[in-house]
Chains A and B, each alone.
Chain A
Amino acid sequence: MIKRLTFLLWMVAISCQEPIDYSLLSENVNTVAVEAVLTNESIPQRVKLTLPYQRQNGLPIPATGALISITDGSSLYLLTEKIAGSGEYFSQPFPAVSGRDYRLQIEYRGLTFDAIDRSVGVEPLPDIRYQSADDLNFELTFNPSGDQANYIVHQINWRHTPQCQANSFCEGLLVYYDLKTIDANEVFRPEKETFLFPINTVVIRKKHSVSEGYRKYLRAILSETEWRGGAFDVEPANAPTNLTSGAIGYFAVTSVLSDTIRVQE
């Protein structure tokens, strides 16, 4: 539906899109971006700290030297930077239990940033759907699933297949968001690239539940990324956050269900 309506809109508009040279306005941005998504998997939980960058497609600047801890009220988990200078901090393995409040605390350059989130239960994964795109390749198709807001991460890999040529990029990461909202900018969002993969590709799916706060955050960043550029864009604005003291990003706690599929005819 989306593709059709989008096409419908633009075809009549005799529109044209072209790349331009555009320099971002220089403005002093003194903040730290937090990417922290805890899951109920018993794994080392990761928190990534970076500084905003001023070039499109730039590399995030790691924020190193931070002191990070997570607590659920009864246990305290300290996170350490596994690779010095990476900005990625890991805990000892522990599952973030559904329905329990988790508190993130970050001390960085003399500032303390806090955030709290609580995960909700995750609904079952729907059956994976893919279709033949041509004689050799397949593509995933997505449909809303369940009643609760969620997103599904697809890790796609065909390195092990003969179709993976040397020096070619034989993996992908696709995320399908189903936030159960009705937004004009989502309905009329721009078209997405088609991602093709061959037979015998392995797809690992992880379905994440989404708390209400996290849903609002995801909806906002999608409005600024994947949903922007369609016919009904919203007023540009920064995404909300549950972090204090001016940090950006989000600290989310989710429940996850995962499965692994090998693509067959």
Chain B
Amino acid sequence: MEVGVPHSWIRCLLLCVLGSFSFATYAQDGLSQKVTFQIVDQTLKETLRQLENTAGVRFSYNPKKLPLEKKISIQAANETIEQVLKKIIQQVPLQYTYIEGQFVLQPVPETSSAGQKKSTLSGYVKDRSTGEAMIGATIYLPLIGQGAVANSFGFYSLTVDTGIYEVQYSFIGYKNEVTQIDLATSKSQNVYLQETSPLLQPVIIRAGVSDLPEVPQTGNISVQPEAIQERPSLLGETDVIKSLESVPGVKSHSDGSTFYYVRGGQRDQNLILVDDAPIYNPAHLLGLFSSIIPDAINDMTLYKGDMPASLGGRISSVLDIRTKKGNDQHFQWWGSVGLVSNKIGVEGPIKKNKSSFLVSTRFSRLKWLAQLGNQDIDQFRFTDFTGKLNVDINQSNRIFFSLTSGSDNYFAGNAGIRWSNLASTLRWNHLFSDKLFANTTASVSGYRYELFTDRSTNTRWNSQIANLQLKSDLTYFKNPRNEISGGLGVFGYFFDPGNIRSDQNVSTVPVLSIRNSSELVMYGNHQVNVSERWSLTYGLRFTHWANVGEAFEFDFDETGNVIDTLRYQSGERYIQFLNAEPRFTASYAPSAQSSVKFSYTRTVQNMHQIINTTSPFTSLEVWLPSSQNIKPQIANQWVVGYYHSLVATGIDLSAEGFYKILDNQIEYEDHAETLLNPLVERELRFGQGKAYGVEFLAKKETGRLRGWLGYSYARAKRTFDGVNGGREFNAFFDRPHQVNTMLTYDVSHRWTLGVNWNYVSGAPFSSPVSFYQFNGLEVPLYGQRNNDRLPDYHRMDVSALFKLNKSQEKKFQHTLSLSIYNFYARKNPVFINFNQTEGEDGIFRIPSNLLNAQRTTSQLYLFQWVPSLSYHFKWR
């Protein structure tokens, strides 16, 4: 290569060169510079590098936006830089501007080719071996630096200028698929991605799309089911819900609980959706395990506030779980044997590539263990079932049917408890065109709880909640920079806040009014890339909530006395709430590796869990709708975040700060009666909450060593008239400091080691400041609400996963998983009690004899160094 650099008259040529470029007012020194330059079949990247060396000019560009690997040839003899660049542009469609001494290269924007014919590339991205939708897969056209992300059904659509393009399909943990496609006309292309070998399959927990600079969304995170299965687990039971405890901003209640709190919100403010149908109590064994079978899950995303307008109904978070549709390539079955339960699943094509099914079940085997302690126990079990049927009618029409259920039954002698969940969805995906995607869903879900006090007469306390919904979403993929979606939903709810039912006459027991409600929801969302650096998402969700008779409600005066009983006829709409929930997110990307985002979200909740317990266990749930006495809960949340990718190391960094105001929050009168109390609404107190904090996360998703490190500082406060003297107090979930570490290391193809370490400040609780006596009882006297804290919680879990097959190519694969929960046997108390006495057998009991009762302060903790071994298999 020959180089010549005439320096003397650069400035003189500047004005001559400017006319043909849009940014003509900038200095033009570099444009007029002459070079002699020859390059043959070199990549654009190498060409630019050599041109920099030759001409002493600098190029600035986003490597993700330019087709740097495209090979070109240039021959220039004593030509200006401008002429050289024109030769490059003839081979690579880009444009440039000359700013402050450097050339800024950009792909040709769509507007520059206005009038040119457009074509649409659309289709589905699927797993090659199973046919499962690759939710969140990336489709990228390097030539023009534009792309799209596959939606919840694996569908994508890209509308671009006609031409020949290289298309890159990628998904974490899968091999990239690169194809050439001639988009002279619109095309539909389904792509199947191949999972990489285990050692090259590093990305188990992946970032939510919020981490991508281009996507204007904050505060969400996706967890892959494989991640859950690799992590240490309690008693070998991999747990979908409990995996959330490692997410900054999510506070777990305690050991033994499926309750979680997101950014200062109450536990009933978290919506759990399985294929769009809500699950009201995802707990087995009172919360020791969750009821969702991880093997049947395809994807799971937690929205901590900045949720799409299509999601709503709770004000703190939405956990959106998508189940697998079933392998449409070949049959496979899988299962596991653990200490607590066994599970098995089978899936396969009904007609290859066209239809498939999945059936899985889990059943506990604890009864024998329970009976060791109590022969009267005759039922002690939990079960789960997940089923799915998928039919691809044609490229434009698909139908899914899914059913998820779970139940718990614990009976001893004449008493017992049982509860059950059911969620079922019928879904129709329809493509009106390659740019207009429709998803119509009909679903039903319910939760039923029964406390039997006399099985012989079938006497039980029974509460229920159920809902029926029909909704339809439309997404219009206008072009890679514009995605417009909207939808309409109609929901019906049924609430039974708990009544006594029996084969006997129970006429003396109070009757609580059954409530029915309807909800009409409309929403719209627009995601637009305003420029190379700015993206916006804005949306609006309208909800119209109405209670419908037949029902009765009470009107109370200021002191809580009933002044009227309001009775409503069947079908009568008697109370209505209309709310608008705007959402807005702006994203600015100062570079290809970083972005700054700001979001505002308003959310509204019209169904409320009424339970005055500090227990970590799921208990006698009562739900009520917004009503004469209960206003809708409302949250306003502001988030600002900074996201940065360290490309060289594969580490992603994020920092988010949030501030949240919660209105119409619910507390209870001291010692409120919430069960079988027709006047329960009188026991409620309403007030305000606020939460704020910062969350930091560093994660590495590639390589043999992967995982994340998170830290958050967050506060949650509440203020209620009539509670704590009207003074602000720390909410139970105000646990300021939280550290989450999760690491996985592939020692070899067969060995994977995992370690988790979680730390969180102790939970506030009300401790007595003194005692007095009444009727021989030592009654505690409390000061401020939540005046003390339990000791800080921390716990390390370790795991080792060993693949029993030497070859990963065998059809039958099986693994052994060893976990040790609470490795260093930390005693993390759940309760501190002041009212019991320790017997000679070491058991703590309430003293009977009030003449010489001696009580001891004690702590109760649940799990201390719990090892477990489980066996998993898969035949494919």
Q: How far is the CB of B366 from chain A (nearest CB, A)?
A: 7
Task: Using A181-B673, A184-B620, A229-B846 as known contacts, say yes or no to A20 and B772 having CB atoms under 8 A apart.
Answer: no
Give chain B residues whose Cβ lies under 8 Å from the Cβ of A218. Answer: 775
**CA–CA, A22 and B791, complex, Å:** 11
Chain B 358-384 per-residue mask, 1 if CB under 8 angstroms from chain A, else 0: 000000001001100110110010000
Contact among B671, B672, B843 for A239, CB-based, below 8 A: B671
Given A19-B857, A29-B781, A236-B782: A194 touches B863 (CB 8 Å cut-off): no
Interchain CB contact under 8 A, A15 and B770: no
Question: Digit string of A216-242 for contact with B (CB within 8 Å is 1, else 0)?
Answer: 101111111110110111111111100
Report how far A23 CA is from B121 CA in the complex, Å.
69
Q: How far is the CB of A4 from chain B (nearest CB, A)?
A: 4
Q: Within A1-27, which residues are at the interface with B (CB < 8 Å)?
A: 1, 4-5, 7-9, 11-22, 24-27
Which chain B residues in 836-876 approach chain A with CB under 8 Å? Answer: 836-839, 843-852, 854-864, 866
Given contacts A17-B859, A33-B772, contact A182 B461 (CB under 8 A): yes
> A237 and B846: CB pair below 8 A?
no
A72 interface contact, C-beta 8 A: no
B849 and A195 contacting across the interface, CB-CB below 8 Å: yes
- Of the candidates B617, B765, B776, B839, which one forms a contact with A236 in the assembled complex, judged by CB atoms under 8 Å apart? B765
Judge if A162 is at the interface, Cβ distance under 8 Å: no
Using an 8 Å CB-CB cutoff, how does the interface string of A109-141 with B read, 1 for contact, 0 for none?
A: 000000000000000000000000000000000
Where chain A touches its partner, the secondary structure class is: loop
Q: Is the CB of A4 within 8 A of B850?
A: no
Residue pair B614, A193 in contact (C-beta under 8 Å): no
A192 within 8 A of B: yes
- The residue on A at minimum CB distance from B372 is A11
Bound-complex Cα distance A175 to B784 (A): 31
User: Is residue B612 contacting chain A, with contact meaning CB distance below 8 A?
Assistant: yes
Q: Contacting B767 at CB < 8 Å: which of A24, A216, A219?
A: A24
Question: What is the CB-to-nearest-CB distance from B822 to chain A, in angstroms, rounded to a whole number?
Answer: 10
CA distance A19 to B785 in the complex (A): 24
Residue contact A175 to B768, C-beta cutoff 8 Å: no
B286 touches A57 (CB 8 A): no
Residue A96 interfacial (CB < 8 Å): no
Interchain CB contact under 8 A, A5 and B412: yes
Q: Which of B192-233 contact A (CB under 8 A)?
A: none
Cβ of A54 under 8 Å from chain B: yes
B123: chain A residues at CB < 8 Å are: none
A239 to B156 Cα, complex, angstroms: 61
Determine if B668 is an interface residue (Cβ-Cβ < 8 Å). Answer: yes
Chain B: residues with Cβ within 8 Å of the partner, total of 92
Given contacts A5-B417, A17-B860, A56-B855, contact A237 B832 (CB under 8 A): no
The answer to the question of A183 belonging to the interface, with a C-beta cut-off of 8 Å to chain B, is yes
Residues 39-96 of B contacting A (Cβ, < 8 Å): none
State how many angstroms separate the Cβ of B512 from the closest Cβ of chain A: 12
Check if B779 sits within 8 Å of A183, measured CB to CB: no
Tell me if A65 is interfacial: C-beta within 8 Å of chain B.
Answer: no
Task: Establish whether residues A54 and B675, one from each chain, have CB atoms under 8 Å apart when the complex forms.
Answer: no
A40 within 8 A of B: no
Q: Are B849 and A174 in contact (CB under 8 A)?
A: yes
Q: Which residues from chain A contact B451 at a C-beta distance below 8 Å? A: 187
Query: Which of chain B's residues have a CB closer than 8 A to the CB of A104?
Result: none
Contact with A along B721-742 (1 / 0, CB 8 A): 0000000000000000000000
- Shortest Cβ distance from residue A125 to the other chain B in the assembled complex, whole angstroms: 18
Would you call A173 and B858 a contact (CB within 8 A)?
no
A52 within 8 A of B: yes
For B532-546 the 0/1 string (1 means CB < 8 A from A) is: 000000000000000
Q: How far is the CA of A16 from the CA of B862 in the complex (A)?
A: 6
In the complex, A252 Cα to B858 Cα: how many Å?
32
**In the complex, A166 Cα to B286 Cα: how many Å?**
48
Chain B residues in 8 Å Cβ range of A174 = 848-850
- Knowing A24-B769, A25-B769, A174-B850, say if A192 contacts B845 (CB, 8 Å): yes
Q: Are A173 and B851 in contact (CB under 8 A)?
A: yes
CB-CB nearest in chain A for B724? A237
Interface size on A, residues (CB 8 A): 80
> Residue on A with the closest CB to B454?
A1
B766 — which chain A residues lie within 8 A by C-beta? 235-237
Interface core residue of B508, B850, B866 (most chain A CB under 10 Å): B850
A54 to B781, alpha carbons, bound, how many Å? Answer: 10
Q: In the bound complex, do residue A60 and residue B370 qualify as a contact, i.e. CB atoms below 8 Å apart?
A: no
**Are B848 and A53 closer than 8 Å at their CB atoms?**
no
Question: How close is A25's CB to chain B, nearest CB, in angstroms?
Answer: 6
Evaluate whether A20 and B858 lie within 8 angstroms (CB atoms) in the complex, with A229-B835, A232-B620 already known: yes
Which residue on chain A has the smallest CB distance to residue B857? Answer: A22
Chain B hits for A198, CB < 8 A: none
User: Is B848 a contact of A194 with CB atoms below 8 Å?
Assistant: yes
Q: Which residue of B lies closest to A13 (CB)?
A: B862
In the complex, the answer to whether A11 meets B370 with C-beta atoms within 8 Å is yes
With contacts A52-B771, A229-B833 known, is A221 near B777, CB below 8 A? yes
Decide if A225 touches B831 in the complex (CB within 8 Å): no
Hey, what's the 0/1 contact readout for A238-258 against B, CB within 8 Å counting as 1? Answer: 111000000011100000000
The CA of A60 and the CA of B776, in the complex, are separated in Å by 11
Q: Are B286 and A19 in contact (CB under 8 A)?
A: no
Question: Which of A193, A218, A225 is most buried by chain B, counting CB atoms within 10 A of its CB?
Answer: A225
B415 CB–A CB distance under 8 Å = yes
Contact A56 B613 (CB under 8 A): no
Q: Are B835 and A225 in contact (CB under 8 A)?
A: yes
In the bound assembly, the distance between CA atoms of A185 and B251 in angstroms comes to: 24
A191 at interface by CB-CB < 8 Å: yes
Q: Which residues of A contact B410 (CB under 8 A)?
A: 5, 8
Chain A contacts for B845, CB-based, 8 A: 190-193
> Does the CB pair A33–B773 fall under 8 Å?
yes
Residues from chain B with Cβ under 8 Å of A37 in the complex: 775
Question: B693 near A: Cβ within 8 Å?
Answer: no
Bound complex: CA A17 to CA B614 (Å): 18
Contact B613 A234 (CB under 8 A): yes
A98 CB, min distance to chain B CBs, angstroms: 20
In the bound complex, residues from chain A placing their C-beta under 8 Å from that of B617 are: 9, 231-232
Known: A56-B857, A192-B845. 9 other contacts (CB 8 A): A1-B415, A15-B860, A19-B856, A171-B851, A229-B860, A234-B612, A235-B612, A235-B668, A235-B670
A-B pairs, top 6 by smallest CB distance, nearest first, are A237-B670, A33-B772, A52-B770, A1-B415, A4-B412, A27-B769
Interface residues, chain A, with chain B CB atoms under 8 Å away: 1, 4-5, 7-9, 11-22, 24-27, 29, 31, 33, 35, 37, 50, 52-54, 56-58, 60, 147, 169, 171-175, 181-185, 187, 189-195, 216, 218-226, 228-229, 231-240, 248-250
9 contacts between A and B (CB under 8 A): A4-B377, A5-B416, A18-B859, A29-B770, A175-B775, A221-B777, A222-B777, A231-B617, A237-B782
